[in-house]
Amino acid sequence: MFENIISPEQQQALHQLLADKKRIVLTCHISPDGDAIGSMTAMASVLRRLGHDTTCICPDNFPDFLMWIPGAKDMLVYNRSEQRTQAEQVLREADLVCMMDHNATSRMNELGAFVDSLTAPRIMIDHHPNPDTGCAVTISRPGMCAACEVLFRLMWQMGWASDMTLDEAISIYTGMMTDTGAFTYNSNRPEVFEIIAKLIARGIDKDRIYRNVFWTQSADRLRLTGFLLYVNMQILDDYHASIITFNNKERRHFQTRNGDTEGIVNMPLQVAGMKLSIFLRQDTENPQNIRVSLRSVDDFPCNEMSARYFNGGGHLNAAGGRLTCSMDQAVEIAKRAIKDFEAQLRA
Ligand SMILES: [Mn+2]
């Protein structure tokens, strides 16, 4: 039904790595999203079925609206000081590290530096372009919508899908759904829906998963969304681009929690003709840093713009970056970037 996604040599290497009982740590990128958490919980469950010990370690906190994902509550968070010692202990004893939904250890900040100091072999299961080399098995498919899609296809090929648990199916669906805005972008391939059909057949309630993730929020968060769109969104009509800012004073005013601004960057793209949305938010821990999110439609290259102006990268239609400056300066840089890409934006 699904084509193989890894070569016979890779399959052999994977079999060998998993042949005897191992202590396996799973990791994901900073600011974990549904795909990061879902791919970790699903893969951890598969590995446990195969007889291994697993621990999932996130570099930093993930949003409350992902806490219901089966297994999410058991994760260690590296930047929580009370969990760091335990996380490092588990990592030191690990026989294998599974990198889920990230293409390099640098995507894990301090946790990545610690993982780099280990000698345990690594497996990468990811869909970001330009994967770092150095893993024993690298399964990278930038054409796929989510690490969870890559994982499902791997499970299919390895024969792990026939015993897929309901919790694994829920995790995989959550990752695919969140990385595609509930299948509204980057998901126009038949295989995506063939996988969904399998997950529904396994018993997931996709409508409930949607409600859990996208239709559940606090009154503060709803008001914050209104504020950011009404007060802080600038639209540069001639350039079909928009900029939204969010500083720490506003963050405190709305009692903002981790993940509350998730998805807001996509909203300006609802304006007819809009091609690019830039979201600038002040970092909570390092107020001199501005985190940058870019979203686009059609063929506008967010990753190129981010690499050139925002010290980042990512996908064509979704990229991230970081600036060290004031919010006013960040807005100026964003405007310069927009003007520089004028030809593509005005077209
Ligand atoms: Mn992803």
Instruction: Let me know whether 62 and 196 are in one domain.
Output: yes
User: How much is the mean pLDDT over the chain?
Assistant: 96
Distance 277 CA to ligand 1 centre (A): 19
Instruction: Let me know whether 106 and 58 are in one domain.
Output: yes
Structure tokens at 188: 């126009």
Instruction: Let me know whether 36 and 150 are in one domain.
Output: yes
Question: Considering 214, 232, 253, which residue would you say is the last residue of a domain?
Answer: 214
Residue for token pair 């996709």: 206
Distance 206 CA to ligand 1 centre (A): 19
Distance 228 CA to ligand 1 centre (A): 25
Distance 180 CA to ligand 1 centre (A): 9
Distance 293 CA to ligand 1 centre (A): 15
| Contact by Cβ (8 Å): 278, 244 | yes
Distance 245 CA to ligand 1 centre (A): 24
Distance 328 CA to ligand 1 centre (A): 31
Give yes or no for residue 259 having a pLDDT over 80: no
Distance 145 CA to ligand 1 centre (A): 7
Distance 7 CA to ligand 1 centre (A): 22
Q: How far apart are CA 70 and CA 59, in angstroms?
A: 19
At residue 257, the pLDDT reads: 83
Instruction: Let me know whether 62 and 98 are in one domain.
Output: yes
Give how many domains the chain has, as a whole number: 2
Q: Which of 172, 223, 240, 158 is nearest to 200 (CA)?
A: 172
Structure tokens at 194: 């063939």
Instruction: Let me know whether 252 and 203 are in one domain.
Output: no
Instruction: Let me know whether 173 and 40 are in one domain.
Output: yes
Distance 36 CA to ligand 1 centre (A): 6
Domain-located, residue 272: yes
Q: What is the DSSP code (8-state) at residue 231?
A: I
Domain-located, residue 1: no
Instruction: Let me know whether 28 and 171 are in one domain.
Output: yes
Distance 231 CA to ligand 1 centre (A): 31
Distance 175 CA to ligand 1 centre (A): 7
At residue 260, the pLDDT reads: 84
Strand partners, 123: 98, 137
Instruction: For residue 239, count other CB atoms closer than 10 A to its CB.
Output: 18
Distance 289 CA to ligand 1 centre (A): 24
The CATH number of the domain holding residue 193 is 3.90.1640.10
Dump pLDDT digits (tens) for 4-40: 999 999 999 999 999 999 999 999 999 999 999 999 9
At residue 63, the pLDDT reads: 87
At residue 347, the pLDDT reads: 81
At residue 109, the pLDDT reads: 94
| Contact by Cβ (8 Å): 45, 71 | yes
At residue 177, the pLDDT reads: 98
Structure tokens at 182: 């509930």
Question: Considering 214, 248, 281, which residue would you say is the last residue of a domain?
Answer: 214
Distance 226 CA to ligand 1 centre (A): 27
Handedness of CA 175, 144, 118, 307 (dihedral sign): negative
Q: Stretch 272-300: mean pLDDT, rounded? A: 96
Distance 35 CA to ligand 1 centre (A): 5
Distance 1 CA to ligand 1 centre (A): 24
Instruction: Let me know whether 252 and 184 are in one domain.
Output: no
Distance 100 CA to ligand 1 centre (A): 9
Handedness of CA 33, 35, 36, 38 (dihedral sign): positive
Name the percent of the chain lying above pLDDT 90.
93
Domain-located, residue 88: yes
Strand partners, 282: 290
Instruction: Let me know whether 188 and 250 are in one domain.
Output: no
Domain-located, residue 274: yes
Q: How far apart are CA 217 and CA 278, in angstroms?
A: 23
Domain-located, residue 2: no
Distance 172 CA to ligand 1 centre (A): 11
Give yes or no for residue 293 having a pLDDT over 80: yes
At residue 217, the pLDDT reads: 83
Domain-located, residue 3: no
Distance 101 CA to ligand 1 centre (A): 5
Pairing mode of beta strands 318-324, 313-314 = antiparallel
Domain-located, residue 269: yes
In the chain, how long is the greatest CA-to-CA distance?
A: 61
Question: Considering 214, 238, 262, which residue would you say is the last residue of a domain?
Answer: 214
Instruction: Let me know whether 209 and 314 are in one domain.
Output: no
The CATH number of the domain holding residue 276 is 3.10.310.30
Q: How far apart are CA 96 and CA 94, in angstroms?
A: 5
Instruction: Let me know whether 131 and 206 are in one domain.
Output: yes
Q: How far apart are CA 114 and CA 108, in angstroms?
A: 9
Q: pTM for the complete prediction?
A: 0.81
**What SS3 string covers 280-297?**
EEECCCCCCEEEEEEEEC
Distance 346 CA to ligand 1 centre (A): 30
Structure tokens at 281: 């938010």
Distance 127 CA to ligand 1 centre (A): 6
Domain-located, residue 321: yes
Instruction: Let me know whether 209 and 251 are in one domain.
Output: no
| Contact by Cβ (8 Å): 155, 164 | yes
Q: Which of 24, 86, 76 is nearest to 49 (CA)?
A: 24
Structure tokens at 171: 């995790």
CA atoms within a 13 Å half-sphere pointing along the CA-CB vector of 178: 29
Residue span of the structural domain in which 305 resides = 219-346
